[in-house]
Chains A and B, each alone.
Chain A
C-alpha cells in the first residue's frame, strides 16, 4: 500500500550544521508531497510542499525536491538554528490537495548551541 518512510531520529546537530532528513515514499499514483513541522506543545504546521516531479518546495531556509526516479523527498537546510528543534513529518496525498494525508513516523531534531 501507499506509505512514507522517514529516517529514525533523534537527529542531534550543533548550531549552523547542515541538515538532511531522508524521506522516501511508495505510492500507486502521482502524489503531492509535504513536510510538516511540530514544535513542542503545538500542532503540526505545513513547512513546504511539492505537487509534481522535480518541483522544489522551500520555506524558512528548508528545501526539498520531489524526485520521482528515487521516490524521495529529502528535507535539507544549510545551517540549522536552535529554534529549528522540533519533530518533522514527511507526508503524501494521492487524492489531490491535502486530502487523505499519509504520514511518516516523524523525525525528532535537536539542535544544540
Chain B
C-alpha cells in the first residue's frame, strides 16, 4: 500500500523556537495532504488541508501564522510550528491522498513535539 513518512518522529525544543515537521508520500504523488493534531487520550483534530501549489485551508480556530504549511511538491508537505510554546506540545499527524478528498487518506506515523 501507499506509504507516508514523517520526520522527525519526535522533537524537543525550547519555548520560542520554531520547529519544522516533514510529511512525505514515498510511492505516490499526493495532490492533497492533511495535518492533524492529537492530544493525549483525545481525538485527532484536523488542522488544515493543503493542495500542492496552493495555500493551505485552515480549520476554524487554527492560527495560520502559528502553524505554517507548505506543500511545494507532490511528495512533500511541511508544517512549521512558529515560536513554539508548551501548549503546542502534541502529536502531529499528516495524511496524503491522491486527488482531493474522494480518495483514501494514507497516514504518516506521527511526530511527537515537546516544547520545554
Contact = CB atoms under 8 A, between A and B. Distances in A.
A100 B105 CA distance: 11
Contact of A98 (B1, B43, B45, B101): B101
B105 A41 contact: no
Interface in B33-54: 34, 41-46
Contact of B44 (A89, A95, A99): A89
**Size bracket, chain B contacts:** 20 to 34
A96 B109 contact: no
B67 interface: no
Contacts of A104: 43
Name, among B46, B97, B101, the residue most crowded by chain A CB atoms within 10 Å (CB to CB): B101
Interface of A is mostly: loop
Interface in A54-113: 89, 93, 95-106
A33 interface: no
B104 A99 contact: no
Nearest to B6: A43
Contacts, number: 55
Interface in B80-99: 93, 95, 97
A100 to B, nearest CB: 6
Contact of B4 (A36, A43, A96, A97): A43
A46 interface: yes
A57 to B, nearest CB: 13
Given A95-B101, A97-B100, 13 more contacts: A41-B109, A44-B44, A44-B95, A93-B101, A97-B102, A98-B102, A98-B104, A99-B100, A99-B101, A101-B44, A101-B46, A102-B46, A105-B43
Interface of B: 1, 4, 34, 41-46, 93, 95, 97, 100-110
Interface of A: 4, 36, 38, 41-46, 89, 93, 95-106
